Amino acid sequence: MVGMKRIIAFSFLLAMTLALVIWGQTKAPATVYAQYEMRSVFPRETSPAMYEQVSQQELQTLASQGWELVSVTPFVVRNEERGPALNNKPAVTQSYPAYFFKRVKLLKTESVSLIPAHAP
């Protein structure tokens, strides 16, 4: 009878130890965040100190490819004096913005077909 109680107690302790080991090995899944691609578009320098604005067509093309505009900031600011007056020339300010985009990174996965391929 005492031997049977020892076997039952030992079996219980072994089962509890095994349960604790298994419980300790299971981890909560890590938080998964979306990965993004980043892209920036800057004005083009056509000649020294001369720039060309980013075209609307280029911005529209990026939008149609899934790029989301997240920021616009002045990249080049030019001040140019014009007019015949030597002492009081009117200044013209030109701003050339830079555009910053993001989109969710597309992950490539292998496609698995559930229909068997026929071998000729």
Of 16, 8, 36, 38, the residue nearest 101 (C-alpha): 38
Within-domain flag for 10: no
What b/e string do you get for 6-15 counting C-beta neighbours within 10 Å, with b at 16 or more? eeeeeeeeee
Count of structural domains, the chain:
1
Contact between 101 and 65 (Cβ < 8 Å): no
Q: Which of 18-22, 43-47, 58-62, 115-119 has the highest mean pLDDT?
A: 58-62
Domain presence at residue 26: no
Note down the domain range covering 74.
Answer: 36-104
Residue 64 falls inside a structural domain: yes
Task: Tell me, yes or no, whether 99 lies in a domain.
Answer: yes
**For residue range 29-83, what is the model confidence (pLDDT) as tens digits?**
677 788 899 999 999 988 887 889 999 999 999 999 999 999 999 998 877 776 6
112 within domain boundaries: no
> Is the full-model pTM beyond 0.75?
no
The answer to the question of residue 109 being in a domain is: no
Q: Return phi, psi of residue 44, to 5°.
A: -90, 140
pLDDT at 88: 66
Whether 14 maps to a domain, the answer reads: no
Asked, for residue 63, whether it belongs to a domain, the answer is yes
Distance in angstroms (rounded) separating the CA atoms of residues 58 and 70: 16
